[in-house]
Amino acid sequence: MQHPSDKVRLTATIVLVVFAFVTTIATPLIVKTILPEIIDNQLIKYEKMSTSGDPELVKKAPLIIDTPYLVSFFYPLWMALAMFGGVTALVIAKPFNRGEVWAKGVALLATAMPSIAGAYMLIPWINFVGFGNGLPYPIFIALFGLIPYFWIVLAEKVDGTTKLAYFLVFMALGIAAAHSFTNGHASFRLQWMLPQRPLWPPTTWVLWLSTQFMWLGTIALLFSIFYTGLRKKAGFYLGLIGGITVTIANFWTHLVRGTTSDYIVGGSLGLAVVVFMMIPAFKKRLFDEQEIGYPTGE
């Protein structure tokens, strides 16, 4: 992170350290509070659906029977990733403050972890608890990451177009990664809980595409955050790989199943990553010219 001002660097470092401490300490306490409530409500919902007089609800009940097991695995997983991001941010704070370029990429990836964790955790909260039944605690986990993430992105002393490029590209990378993981989780749940397993109804084969393939795209987007933070060409290509992957996975899933708009949103987010990466004015400002190459106009 190379700034002309030591003060700007120091302020960004303080923000990074404060939220790293908060993430590491508060995230497990929040998960400990909300996970039992979500699981209790999932069990209640399954009981109501399975004993309902509505045949359609009874038919759909098996699709949520194992949701408590899934969230009891993925919530602690993302809690651990968020905390790991916090610890990482603390460890690299000193080189980050010195302006070492590699530390900026690490800091961005580290702060992306709680951002994505909170975004993922919010969906089960909305579905099984709801905003009317208490504070949406996962939002706080997301903010633990989002505030330092965008602080670092926007702290650079650059012109307005460069700042816009930073904001749009890093926002698109983060949101697309979070949304794609969440969509992949939903597809995995449906794969795992289909009553016909190991046989597959005609439209459910596409869930392979929207889980495994989509999660590979999510990983590429995360690494793009790191390398784009370093202005390396790997960030550009990983952004394209991840963006195209989640675009294909989401749109294809919607085309085959078409049961929810979530995959349209996910595909649009992946496409946004590709478009932003390909805008010449953005590309020139985001990446090292000597690494990625630009037309000279001659």
DSSP notation for the chain: ---S-HHHHHHHHHHHHHHHHHHHHHHHHHHHHHHHHHHHHHHHHHHHHHT-S-HHHHHHGGGGTTHHHHHHHHHHHHHHHHHHHHHHHHHTHHHHHHT-HHHHHHHHHHHHHHHHHHHHHHHHHHHHT-GGGS--HHHHHHHHHHHHHHHHHH-S---HHHHHHHHHHHHHHHHHHHHHHHHHHHHHHHHHH-TTTTS--TTSTHHHIIIIIHHHHHHHHHHHHHHHHTT-HHHHHHHHHHHHHHHHHHHHHHHHT---THHHHHHHHHHHHHHHHH-HHHHHHHS-HHHH------
User: 2 pLDDT exceeds 60?
Assistant: no
Angle, helices 214-229/233-256, rounded to nearest 10 degrees = 160
Give CA–CA dist 108/169, Å, rounded: 13
pLDDT tens-digit series, residues 273-294: 999 999 999 999 999 766 555 4
Measured between alpha carbons, how far is 151 from 155 in angstroms, rounded to an integer?
6
- Looking at residue 296, its pLDDT comes to 43
pLDDT band at 174 (very low <50, low <70, confident <90, very high): very high
- pLDDT single digits (tens) 225-278: 999 999 999 999 999 999 999 999 999 988 887 777 889 999 999 999 999 999
Higher pLDDT, 40 or 193: 40
Q: What are the contacts of 90-96 at 24+ separation with CB within 8 A?
A: 90/17, 90/20, 90/21, 90/24, 93/13, 93/16, 93/17, 93/20, 96/1, 96/9, 96/12, 96/13, 96/16
User: pLDDT tens, 129-172?
Assistant: 887 767 789 999 999 999 999 999 998 888 889 999 999 999 99
Q: What is the mean pLDDT of the chain?
A: 89
In this prediction, residue 137 carries a pLDDT of 92
Query: In this model, does residue 1 exceed pLDDT 70?
Result: no
Q: Which residue has the higher pLDDT, 26 or 50?
A: 26
- Cα distance between residue 102 and residue 88, in whole Å: 13
77 versus 205: the higher-pLDDT residue is 77
Measured distance CA(62)–CA(70) in Å, rounded: 14
Per domain, the residue ranges of the chain are 1-157, 159-298
Please tell me the predicted confidence (pLDDT) of residue 159. Answer: 86
Whole-number pLDDT of residue 297: 40
Is the pLDDT assigned to residue 37 strictly greater than 50?
A: yes
pLDDT of amino acid 52:
82
- pLDDT value for 289: 64
Q: Is the pLDDT of residue 193 over 80?
A: no
- What is the percentage of the chain residues whose pLDDT exceeds 70? 92
* Residues in Cβ contact with 241 at an 8 Å cutoff, skipping those fewer than 6 apart: 217, 220, 224
pLDDT average, residue stretch 96-105? 93
Rounded average pLDDT over 32-44: 91
- Of the two residues 6 and 99, the one the predictor is more confident about is 99
Specify whether the CB–CB gap between 288 and 232 falls below 8 A. Answer: yes
Mean pLDDT of 194-201: 69
